[in-house]
Amino acid sequence: MADVVLRALAAGGRSGAKLADVIKRLVLEAAQLGELDSYQYLGDGGQLVTGKRFPPRWLDRLDKAIETGAIEHLSVDRIVEIMLQGPR
């Protein structure tokens, strides 16, 4: 599922840096829009805490963007815009 994304990040270079920028922008903009997934976990002292996380469905979409070359050809702004529009 996220193997392609992890390999691209680990490879570094121009594509890896651009992908990291896309992920960072997605998280920041999605947080402002309330688009991050909520989850609960046990915090210190055993209390239930609600956190936010990167939606797993976005990893699948980023995989596709890498495999189709969109990461190479589109700007960070355009990729983030497309990702925030939702599935097509």
Q: Which has the closest alpha carbon to 22: 86, 71, 68?
A: 71
The pLDDT assigned to 11 comes to: 92
CB 77 within 8 A of CB 23: no
- Each as own residue / partner, the long-range contacts of residues 69-73 (CB below 8 Å, 24 or more positions apart, any chain) are 71/8, 71/15, 71/18, 71/19, 71/22, 72/15
Q: What would the DSSP string read from start to end of 56-87?
A: HHHHHHHHHHHHTTHHHHS-HHHHHHHHHH--
Q: pLDDT truncated to tens, each residue of the chain (88 aa)?
A: 578 898 999 999 998 999 999 999 999 998 888 889 999 999 888 899 999 998 888 888 899 889 999 999 999 999 999 988 876 5
Provide the 3-class DSSP secondary structure of residue 2: coil
